[in-house]
């Protein structure tokens, strides 16, 4: 098995925040609270979005441990919230959670819905992260990250699996990275020259690819992954952004990975792609679309 179990947990709560007070859940200052563990990729995506929108004063965040502390794999601190929302909830109390302080119930545990609602329903001082004309493009980037990168990296790192299947998965992964590399050839960000939710999604995917999935790939595969210089330069640039890098808990990601992992470490573990920590507090200027970054090799 690769980095983590391939089982995908079905989110038990899928409430949405509307812009009509009659809808039940509507955006209001101090009504909601987020419960996040940035070592979790879904929580990391929400945490970065929350910071980009400048929502710290109106929508507080409660941090959770990197490694869930309940015997069933959930978070002890979230169990009362789950029980208040669904009596005798059968599964683990997982993060992320968007909680409604007024009703005492969990609104949503589904990260894609949460980030969309933060971007669309809360008017923070930050940028417009999900312009109305980008819905389809953003959904395509989400699919590319989930199916083209994350799922294929998982299959390419399966220990003891069929070699042909692993090679096919790696080829699919490299094609997805090629698509992202090509997008960045003439623009600063994935959907254009403005930062959007698509960039947050891609950055989190690249963090997981290097800090988790790489450990189960062979060295030659990792070297081929590094042969996307614009993409990894873009990852370094976003890491230096004050809304991105400070949320990056590398130690927590490592501890969460080792606590959940059932796979076997491969030679790729010794070939890091980026020294993420080196860019966390480094401010880098936005490049012009014509700028061509230096090739990425080794630790980056």
Please determine, for residue 48, whether its predicted confidence score (pLDDT) is greater than 90. Answer: yes
Q: What is the mean pLDDT of residues 58-85?
A: 95
**What is the C-alpha to C-alpha distance for residues 190 and 116, in angstroms, rounded to an integer?**
17
Percent of the chain with pLDDT over 90: 76
Identify the sign of the CA torsion 37, 144, 149, 183.
negative
**What is the C-alpha to C-alpha distance for residues 45 and 199, in angstroms, rounded to an integer?**
10
* pLDDT of 1: 38
**What is the C-alpha to C-alpha distance for residues 281 and 245, in angstroms, rounded to an integer?**
7
**In Å, how far are 19, 197, 201, 207, 254 from 117, measured between CA atoms?**
10, 11, 15, 23, 30
Q: What pLDDT digit, counting tens, does each position of 148-181 carry?
A: 999 999 999 987 778 899 999 999 999 999 999 9
* pLDDT of 4: 42
Q: What pLDDT digit, counting tens, does each position of 111-133 carry?
A: 999 999 999 998 667 789 999 89
**What is the C-alpha to C-alpha distance for residues 179 and 190, in angstroms, rounded to an integer?**
10
More confident residue, 22 or 284: 22
Q: Which residue has the tokens 């690819």?
A: 209
* pLDDT of 293: 44
What lies within 8 Å, CB to CB, of 285 at 6+ separation is none
């Amino acid at each position: 098995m690769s980095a983590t179990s391939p089982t995908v947990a079905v989110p038990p709560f899928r409430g949405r925040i509307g812009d009509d007070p009659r809808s039940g859940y509507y955006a209001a200052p101090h009504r909601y609270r987020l419960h996040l563990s940035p070592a979790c990729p879904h929580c990391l995506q929400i945490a970065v979005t929350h910071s980009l929108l400048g929502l710290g004063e109106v929508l507080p965040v409660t941090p959770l441990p990197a490694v869930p502390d309940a015997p069933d794999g959930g978070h002890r601190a979230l169990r009362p919230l789950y029980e208040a929302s669904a009596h005798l909830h059968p599964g683990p109390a997982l993060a992320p959670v968007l909680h409604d302080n007024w009703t005492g119930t969990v609104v949503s545990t589904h990260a894609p819905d949460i980030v969309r609602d933060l971007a669309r329903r809360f008017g923070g001082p930050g940028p417009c992260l999900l312009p109305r004309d980008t819905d389809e493009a953003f959904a395509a980037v989400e699919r590319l990250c989930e199916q083209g990168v994350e799922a294929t990296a998982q299959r390419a790192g399966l220990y003891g699996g069929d070699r042909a299947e692993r090679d096919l998965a790696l080829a699919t992964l490299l094609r997805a990275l090629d698509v992202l590399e090509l997008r960045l050839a003439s623009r600063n960000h994935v959907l254009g020259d403005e930062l959007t939710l698509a960039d947050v999604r891609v950055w989190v995917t690249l963090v997981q690819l290097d800090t988790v999935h790489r450990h189960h790939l062979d060295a030659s595969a990792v070297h081929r992954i590094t042969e996307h210089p614009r993409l990894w330069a873009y990852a370094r640039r976003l890491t230096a952004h004050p809304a991105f890098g400070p949320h990056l808990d590398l130690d927590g990601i490592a501890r969460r990975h080792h606590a959940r992992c059932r796979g076997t470490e491969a030679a790729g573990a010794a070939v890091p792609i980026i020294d993420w920590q080196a860019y966390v507090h480094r401010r880098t200027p936005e490049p012009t679309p014509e700028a061509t970054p230096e090739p990425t090799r080794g630790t980056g």
